[in-house]
Amino acid sequence: MTSAAALPISEPLQLLLDVLRARGPLTRADLGAATGLSRTTVSGLLAGLRRLGLVDDAPDSAGQPTGGRPATLVTFGRDAGLAVGVDLGRRHLRVIVSDLGHHVVAESGLRLEVDGHADAALDRAASVIDDLLAGLSRDRSDVLGVGLGVPAPLDRNGVVGSSNILPGWVGRSPAHELQQRLELPVLSDNDANLGALAEAVWGAGRDVEQVVYLKVATGIGAGIVLGGRILHGVGGTAGEIGHTTVTDNGAVCRCGNRGCLELLVGGPALVDELRQSGLSVAGVPDIVELARAGDAGCLRVLADVGDRLGLAVANLVNLLNPEVVVFGGDLSAAGELVLTTLRARVQRSAIPAAASSVRVVSSALGDRAEALGGVLLVLREAAFGPRLLSRALAPA
Ligand SMILES: [Zn+2]
């Protein structure tokens, strides 16, 4: 084992580790450009990290468009550490384990009643993480941190607000509680924010600066990534698009307001609407399946949802002028059955300059987006750099 003195935790080293962890495998040239460090400094630091087994070379699978020798990428070694993402939905739990080189190495998804069962849900999340680690012959000491997504706005202390969005969790701090169970650092964010982050880094908004992720499922939320950073707002409620008022005299919403968008296009609203027409459906997946089979009522409902969502998205496009709006959540399985009317409405109702510069696309990461965003929270957290090194430098 190389001694700690041989590799002091200098500022350039810290910077290089942060960039490599946040951006994933990079060529030496890109690593130099992203850190601003000289070629010689990068080479020296990488040699030290290689001796510690922290970094490795990987072939560039994208290859060279010019047909030359494939570029070699610098990546974190397989044993450098792991990052865990957890998505606690209202009715599901998904856990994804990634290595620090941005490769998913294990994952699990299961149905779980989360709202009103906070303790049981967190216990289950902890046990699923342990099971996945055991399956990899690893344990919690290999994990740099956990990123947790919750389907409710979180304030700056990570506490679920008293907004009736997730009633069983109000006043609780899911990250703190999971941290106590795991004895690992846990970061948390709203699930739509994490979906936005993942789509902006790995998905449909890749290489785009301004991305809005629209999550349409039981509830409706939006995550907003501007210049690579999640927009939270002062109290953590930025992007609560499902609770924008679309009719003054509509029904009363769980948020306490009246006439919210969610009451028109959320999963339960669609199910109710179809039941009134005599069609029995259990939820959004049923509606999508029937629509695909040609059911006229379901096709009509989905087309109308696209139009209603499109109006909300048009307003959002006017306000934020994003380059990409990513359509995600359960309803995104409907694809073009919703997107066609959604796009048409955006073109009709947003100001022409904003409407012409936005692309409205399907999620590339599907129902894994939120948990992958949790992984990214960990990979992008600079505070985890020193932990990585102290682990590598610890006496065997
Ligand atoms: Zn509401």
In angstroms, what is the span from residue 199 Cα to ligand 1's centroid? 26
The predicted pLDDT at position 218 comes to 82
The predicted pLDDT at position 6 comes to 47
In angstroms, what is the span from residue 287 Cα to ligand 1's centroid? 23
In SS3 terms, the chain reads as CCCHHHCCCCHHHHHHHHHHHHHCCECHHHHHHHHCCCHHHHHHHHHHHHHCCCEEEEECCCCCCCCCCCCEEEEECCCCCEEEEEEECCCEEEEEEEECCCCEEEEEEEECCCCCCHHHHHHHHHHHHHHHHHHCCCCHHHEEEEEEEECCCECCCCCECCCCCCHHHCCCCHHHHHHHHHCCCEEEEEHHHHHHHHHHHCCCCCCCCEEEEEEECCCEEEEEEECCEECCCCCCCCCCHHHCECCCCCCECCCCCECEHHHHHCHHHHHHHHHHCCCCCCCHHHHHHHHHCCCHHHHHHHHHHHHHHHHHHHHHHHHHCCCEEEEECHHHHHCHHHHHHHHHHHHHHCCHHHHHHCEEEECCCHHHHHHHHHHHHHHCCCCHHHHHHHHHHCCC
With a pLDDT cut of 90, the percent of the chain lying above it is: 72
The predicted pLDDT at position 89 comes to 85
Model confidence band, residue 52 (pLDDT cutoffs 50, 70, 90): confident
In angstroms, what is the span from residue 251 Cα to ligand 1's centroid? 10
In angstroms, what is the span from residue 218 Cα to ligand 1's centroid? 12
In angstroms, what is the span from residue 3 Cα to ligand 1's centroid? 57
The predicted pLDDT at position 165 comes to 63
Lowest-confidence region among 46-50, 164-168, 211-215, 363-367: 164-168
Taking the model in full, what pTM does it have? Answer: 0.92
Q: Which residues surround the ion ligand 1 when the cut-off is CB under 5 Å?
A: 243, 253, 255, 257, 260
The predicted pLDDT at position 396 comes to 53
Beta bridge partner(s), residue 94: 87, 109
In angstroms, what is the span from residue 255 Cα to ligand 1's centroid? 4
Which one has a higher pLDDT value, 390 or 179? 179
Residue 44 in this model has a pLDDT that exceeds 70: yes
Which one has a higher pLDDT value, 69 or 25? 25
In angstroms, what is the span from residue 238 Cα to ligand 1's centroid? 14
In angstroms, what is the span from residue 21 Cα to ligand 1's centroid? 38
Residue 3 in this model has a pLDDT that exceeds 50: no
The predicted pLDDT at position 274 comes to 95
In angstroms, what is the span from residue 263 Cα to ligand 1's centroid? 7
Residue 64 in this model has a pLDDT that exceeds 60: no
The predicted pLDDT at position 2 comes to 42
The predicted pLDDT at position 34 comes to 94
Average pLDDT of every residue of the chain: 90
Mean pLDDT for the stretch of residues 46-50:
92
Instruction: List pLDDT tens digits, range 117-144.
Output: 888 999 999 999 999 999 999 999 999 9
Residue 31 in this model has a pLDDT that exceeds 70: yes
Reading the block at residue 351, the tokens are: 């100001």
In angstroms, what is the span from residue 257 Cα to ligand 1's centroid? 5
Model confidence band, residue 76 (pLDDT cutoffs 50, 70, 90): very high
Mean pLDDT for the stretch of residues 278-293:
94
In angstroms, what is the span from residue 328 Cα to ligand 1's centroid? 20
Lowest-confidence region among 69-83, 94-108, 120-134, 309-323: 69-83
Which one has a higher pLDDT value, 373 or 1? 373
Of the candidates 86, 135, 66, the residue with the CA atom closest to the CA atom of residue 106: 135
Lowest-confidence region among 49-53, 225-229, 332-336, 342-346: 49-53
**Rounded Cα gap, residues 129 and 115, in angstroms:** 20
Sign of CA dihedral 89, 94, 95, 100: negative
Instruction: List pLDDT tens digits, range 332-368.
Output: 999 999 999 999 999 999 999 999 999 999 999 999 9
The predicted pLDDT at position 307 comes to 97
Model confidence band, residue 1 (pLDDT cutoffs 50, 70, 90): very low
Which one has a higher pLDDT value, 328 or 66? 328
Other Cβ atoms closer than 10 A to 345: 21
Residue 163 in this model has a pLDDT that exceeds 90: no
In angstroms, what is the span from residue 2 Cα to ligand 1's centroid? 57
